[in-house]
Every structure is written in C-alpha cells, then in structure tokens.
C-alpha cells in the first residue's frame, strides 16, 4: 500500500503544494483583515474561525458572512480567494483524474488488489501464464472442476475482458510479464495451496523462461508447458519441467494411431476428451497414397512419426529448400488444381492441409474434394473462429492445437491415472484393445464412458481401508463387479502400486493399502467402487458375505469370524 501512497504523493505534489499555499494565504488574510462586530467595534477572526470559513468557501462557494457581516475590505479579499481557490481546485481535480488514468498508477492498484486476493485465497489454485485460446480453454475446464486459477498475461485487453465473463470461480487476474520472477512470487508460487504452473503462451522461449523461473523459485511445484520447438522442449526438460506438450507431435501420434490402430485411438478419444470435445473422426484413416500440403512443424511431425507401412507419402510445399523438405517434394501451396494433379490427387486416398494459414488450408481441402470427391480430408485450424468453416467444408478430421493442448493439460491435472493409461496403452495388443472396446460398449450401451479413480487409503476410501487393515483380502473383481449390483459394475483399466502401473489388471488381482485403481463405466449410476469406499455395511454384505442386517447381529457375526 505504501508504494501506491508515495506514487500518488509524487504525482500530486504540485497541486497539493498549491492548494496548501492558497489556503494558508487565504486564512492569513482573513485573520489580518479587521472586521466589525455588531456594535461597530474592530474585530479579528481567530485562525480556527478563518480556516473554517476558507474551507467551506473554497469547496462550496455558498456561505453566509458569519459571525458578523463583513467589511468592504473583507469582501474584496474573499472575492480574490474565491476565484483563486476555484482555479486551484480545478487544477488539483484535473491532476487527480490524470493520475487515475496513468497506466503506472493503475498497474500499481491492480498489483495491490492481486496480491491481496492471492493472500486471501485458501483454496487450491493453478497459475496460468498466457491467456490465449489455450489458456481460456484450460481456465474454463479448471473452473468446471472447482479449481481457482490465477491468470497472468501481458495483454491488458485480454485480462480486462475476463472481468465481464461469468465463471463458477472468478479468476485472480494480473496484466504482467509472467517471465518476471517477482510476478510469479506475487502470484503465490511459494504458497502451500499452489498446485502448479501452466505456461501456454504463444512463444516457446517465454514458456521456457516461465518454466525455469518456476523451478528455481519452487522446485516442488508442478510445471506444465506447451512447446512446439524441439530445442526449447529439450531445454525445458533439462530444468525438470514436469509435463511438456507438443501439439504437433501429439496430433501426429494420433494420425498414425488412427491409421494403424484405430481401436486404440477410439479408447484414448473416449478417455481424453471428456471436458472439451474435439472434432475427431471415429473412422479409420484410409491407407494408400497420402498428400501433405505444407512441410512446416505439423507436416514434419506427421511425416517423421508416420509408420509408412502401406502408405505412400507425397509432400507439397511452396519452398522446399527453406523448409528442408525431401528432394521429391512438389513445389506449390496445394491451393492450385495443377499442383494437386501433379501430386496425383486423383489417385490419392487422403490429403492433409497442414499449413499455418486457415484460408489456404480451406482452399486445399475444397480443391482436392472437387478433383477427387472420395478423398479423405484432414485439416489444421489455427483460429478458433474458423473451425465452423472447416466443419462446413466437411473436413473429416480437424486439428486444433489449442484444444488438443487444453485437453491434455486438463486430463493430466484432473485424472492423472487416465494420462498414465493413455501413455502406456500403446503396449496393448490389438486383441486386448478390441475386447476392451466391446466390454466398454456393452457396459455403457455404446455411449461414452466415464472414468473414476479409487484411492485405497483412509481419506478417500475409509471403509475399504478398514477392511484391508484387518488382514482380509480384497480383489479387483470384488470392487468392480457383483451380481447384486450389476448396474453399478465397472471395468478396471489400470492399477498403480508403488509407482508401477499395471494395465487391465485381472479380476483376481489382490488389492493393498495405498493402491490406486482406475475404472470406467456408465454415467447413469454410481459405480460399485464409489458405493463401497465409505460404506462399511455394504462391504460387510457384499465382500464379507455377512447376511445380518441388524447391527448387533452383524457385530456378533464378525466377532465369531
């Protein structure tokens, strides 16, 4: 608060000095100039009386001549003081208005309010550096999850627009440079309830600076960053950044998976996109001849991470030398029919519009569809507002990097076991994957499943923890299936024990304290693990096979057992 006070004093020094001088001279004049009382005797105002008169004269200019009518000399002096004080007040008020509009003063006020809001907040929160499309999607997702967000962005217009929007939990906002360590400290990076830093600005080097500063200020805080450049990502990793998301590599992995392992792609799509659905095809990508128009970061990622089995890849790029494209690259943007015909679009099964220009990508897809109506189209969308145009153009697979990054971040924050499952699910065989899809489809009536995590500890599942602490056995099948509650059954996806993950644990696997179990099921009923976690009587009935419903008889039966 002191910095704001002294800043105001420095900016208002001249008008304050002038006001004090005018009031001092006016008060001294009223004291020195003689007046007359009701009997015609000479009378002088006291300093207090004179200051009182000058105070309401200078601000209201509506007064009476008190306590006695003024002499002509007093009235002349008052007339001078009126005009002088009015002009001085106009000057002072103008200076105050200028101060209020001063960006530096407003920034100081905002930082003071920001700091107070951080210290008042006792709920868990995440710091988001960068409020573009990705930051907005992440903030909305975290708000739906009941988490407070602290948003830092240097763009004043972006942060100001947040105050006009309605959120479940209002964000704490500051327009500042997130790479400044002092800003991160003000944002509460060292507070006990700070859960992590999310750096998703448009500049990779800025994200790197945020990651480095965060780890140096608080080694234990989780740092999640977006990085689209491999060198910057490697630098982030060297400083211990917990999660680094490259949207181009992630999308390239999905394209490859959808071409060669569509069943696995379907499962991952179910699990990842529960909060912010993407426009993702459910079809398998056709094998055969593929054309990639644009050999930028997305085009390179797809080409370098694609399993070329049964796929012939043709690259189209306007400047192959600058983009370091293969020698066989066809020169052109792909928006021209001639270029696409040279690339063999008539015999092509799939085309990917991978440039960073939405208008060019739309032109590529529409031109290709005109030349080959049966071609499968994949397009990259850079601007959120243009996504509706790609849908209107019937693009079958849309890549929107902001939504992809947001979904990855939200999944890692809210459902870390799902992230583990997705990470290791590539090791599942094709048979296991197909069986899992059939099981989930049969359980959910072909609707999207929900996932749920069961933590076997005294806080999250006290009833189950009590059962295990007595030395009794409990298997995966016990907490996932029971003939009496068939509608509440679920499918075990992953068992985490001591940092080691086990995919699709068998039903006979015995559980232990501190295990974590990821299950999936339908959304219409409570899953069996949810019912068992804090219900001792239900565990006694379903697991221990105790048929007594009277508490005393139940206790006696347990004593005999």
Share of the chain above pLDDT 90, in %: 48
Task: Look at 262-276, 298-312, 361-375, 527-541 and tell me which has the smallest mean pLDDT.
Answer: 262-276
Nearest alpha-carbon partner for 443 in 533, 527, 530, 529: 527
Which CA distances in Å does 259 have to 230, 297, 308, 450? 25, 20, 10, 25
Please state the φ and ψ torsions of residue 397, each to the nearest 5 degrees. -145, 115
Which pLDDT score, from 0 to 100, does residue 9 have? 81
Secondary structure letter of residue 449 according to DSSP: P
pLDDT digits (tens, 9 = 90+) for 284-342: 899 999 999 999 999 999 999 998 888 999 999 999 999 899 989 999 999 999 999 99
All domains of the chain in start order, with CATH: 2-101 (1.10.287.70), 122-245 (3.40.50.720), 250-414 (3.40.50.720), 449-560 (3.30.70.1450)
DSSP letters of 94-127? HHHHHHHH-HHHHHHHHHHHHHHHHHH--S-EEE
Q: Are 253 and 229 in contact (CB under 8 A)?
A: no
Helix, strand, coil fractions of the chain, as percent rounded to 5:
50, 15, 30
The answer on pLDDT for 131 being more than 80 is: yes
Task: Please compute the mean of the pLDDT values over residues 5-30 and round it to a whole number.
Answer: 89
Bridge partner residues of 148 (DSSP): 125
Q: Are 292 and 245 in contact (CB under 8 A)?
A: no
Average pLDDT over all residues of the chain:
87
Q: Are 348 and 375 in contact (CB under 8 A)?
A: yes
Question: SS3 letters for 228-289?
Answer: CCHHHHHHHHHCCCCEEECHHHHHHHHHHHHHHCHHHHHHHHHHHCCCCCCCCCCCCCCCEE
Which pLDDT score, from 0 to 100, does residue 113 have? 85
- CA distance linking residue 527 with residue 521, whole number of Å: 7
Assigned token pair, 270: 């179910």
User: Omega before 67 cis (within 30°)?
Assistant: yes
Question: For strand 125-129 and strand 148-153, is the pairing parallel, antiparallel, or unpaired?
Answer: parallel
pLDDT band per the 50, 70, 90 thresholds, residue 557:
low
Please state the φ and ψ torsions of residue 373, each to the nearest 5 degrees. -60, -20
Burial of 481: CB neighbours in 10 Å, binned 0-12, 13-18, 19+: middle
The answer on pLDDT for 535 being more than 90 is: no
- CA distance linking residue 381 with residue 388, whole number of Å: 10
pLDDT band per the 50, 70, 90 thresholds, residue 277:
very low
Which pLDDT score, from 0 to 100, does residue 169 have? 77
- CA distance linking residue 495 with residue 144, whole number of Å: 27
The answer on pLDDT for 20 being more than 90 is: yes
Task: Please compute the mean of the pLDDT values over residues 487-512 and round it to a whole number.
Answer: 90
């Amino acid at each position: 608060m002191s910095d704001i006070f002294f800043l105001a004093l420095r900016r208002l020094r001249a008008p304050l000095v002038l006001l004090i001088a005018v009031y001092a001279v006016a008060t001294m004049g009223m004291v020195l100039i003689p007046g007359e009382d009701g009997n015609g005797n000479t009378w002088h105002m006291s300093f207090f009386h004179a200051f009182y008169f000058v105070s309401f004269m200078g601000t209201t200019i509506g007064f009476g001549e008190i306590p006695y009518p003024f002499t002509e000399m007093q009235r002349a002096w008052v007339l001078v003081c009126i005009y002088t004080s009015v002009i001085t007040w106009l000057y002072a008020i103008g200076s105050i208005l200028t101060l209020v509009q001063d960006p530096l003063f407003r920034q100081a006020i905002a930082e003071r309010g920001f700091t107070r809001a951080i210290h008042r907040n006792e709920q868990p929160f995440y710091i988001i550096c960068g409020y573009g499309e990705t930051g907005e999607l992440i903030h909305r997702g975290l708000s739906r999850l009941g988490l407070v967000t602290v948003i830092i962005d240097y763009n004043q217009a972006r942060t100001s627009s947040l105050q006009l929007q309605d959120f479940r939990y209002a964000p704490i906002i500051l327009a500042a440079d997130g790479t400044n360590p002092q800003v991160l400290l003000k944002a509460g990076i060292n507070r006990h309830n700070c859960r992590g830093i999310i750096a998703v600005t448009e500049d990779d080097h800025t994200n790197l600076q945020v990651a480095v500063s965060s780890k140096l200020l608080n080694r234990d805080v989780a740092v999640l960053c977006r990085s689209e450049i491999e060198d910057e990502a490697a630098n982030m990793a060297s400083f211990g950044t917990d999660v680094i998301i490259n949207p181009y590599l992630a999308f390239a992995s999905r394209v490859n998976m959808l071409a060669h392992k569509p069943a696995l792609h379907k499962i991952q799509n179910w699990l990842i996109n529960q909060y912010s659905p993407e426009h993702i095809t459910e079809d398998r990508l056709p094998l055969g001849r593929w054309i990639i128009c644009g050999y930028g970061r997305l085009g390179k990622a797809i080409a370098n991470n694609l399993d070329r089995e049964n796929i012939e890849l043709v690259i189209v790029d306007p400047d192959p030398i600058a983009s370091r494209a293969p020698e066989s690259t066809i020169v052109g943007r792909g928006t021209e029919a001639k270029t696409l015909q040279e690339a063999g679009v008539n015999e092509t099964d799939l085309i990917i519009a991978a440039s960073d220009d939405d208008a060019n990508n739309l032109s590529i897809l529409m031109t290709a569809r005109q030349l080959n109506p049966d071609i499968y189209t994949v397009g990259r969308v850079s601007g959120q507002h243009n996504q509706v145009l790609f849908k209107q153009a019937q693009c079958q697979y849309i890549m929107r990097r902001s939504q992809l990054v947001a979904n990855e971040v939200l999944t890692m924050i809210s459902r870390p076991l799902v992230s583990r499952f997705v990470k290791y699910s590539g090791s599942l065989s094709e048979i296991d994957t197909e069986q899992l899809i059939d099981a989930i489809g049969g359980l959910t009536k072909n609707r999207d499943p929900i996932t749920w995590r069961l933590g076997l500890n005294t806080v999250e599942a006290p009833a189950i923890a009590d059962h295990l602490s007595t030395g009794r056995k409990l298997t995966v099948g016990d907490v996932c299936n029971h003939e009496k509650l068939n509608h509440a059954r679920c499918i075990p996806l992953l068992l985490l024990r001591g940092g080691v993950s086990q995919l699709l644990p068998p039903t006979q696997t015995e559980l232990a304290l501190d295990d974590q179990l990821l299950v999936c099921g339908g959304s219409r009923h409570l899953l069996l693990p949810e019912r068992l976690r804090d219900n001792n009587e239900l565990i006694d009935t379903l697991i221990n096979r105790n048929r007594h419903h009277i508490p005393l008889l139940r206790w006696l039966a347990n004593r005999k057992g």
